[in-house]
């Protein structure tokens, strides 16, 4: 059985504040009522949509950086 603290451990602890801000921005864009602290009222679909969108945006940004195109336009 895995320790939940270990699976949610930040690789770069200094990035925690920025990641929390990013998570709140994504939740707001998606209309998910995420708040600081306990969010047990969210459905798993709502919580998953925030995490999934965060990953999509991070991958897109990394792909752009790797291709030399670091523009931040929102084209989906």
Note the pLDDT tens digit of each residue in 32-75: 999 998 999 999 999 999 999 999 999 999 999 999 876 655 55
Q: Which of 52, 65, 54 is nearest to 15 (CA)?
A: 54
Instruction: Name which residue leads in pLDDT, 2 or 65.
Output: 65
The pLDDT of residue 13 is: 86
Q: CA angle 65-63-18, nearest 5°?
A: 70
Cα separation, 2 vs 58, in Å, equals: 26
Confidence (pTM): 0.71
Distance CA 4, CA 56 (A): 23
pLDDT of residue 73: 55
Per-residue pLDDT of 9-26, as tens digits, reads 788 888 999 999 999 999
> Rounded to whole angstroms, how far apart are CA atoms 65 and 49?
24
């Amino acid at each position: 059985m895995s320790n939940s603290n270990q699976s949610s451990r930040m690789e770069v602890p200094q990035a925690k504040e920025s990641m929390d801000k990013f998570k709140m921005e994504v939740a707001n864009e998606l209309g998910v009522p995420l708040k600081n602290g306990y969010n047990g009222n969210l459905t798993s679909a709502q919580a998953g949509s925030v995490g999934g969108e965060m990953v999509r945006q991070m991958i897109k940004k990394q792909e752009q950086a790797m291709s030399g195109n670091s523009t931040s336009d929102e084209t989906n």
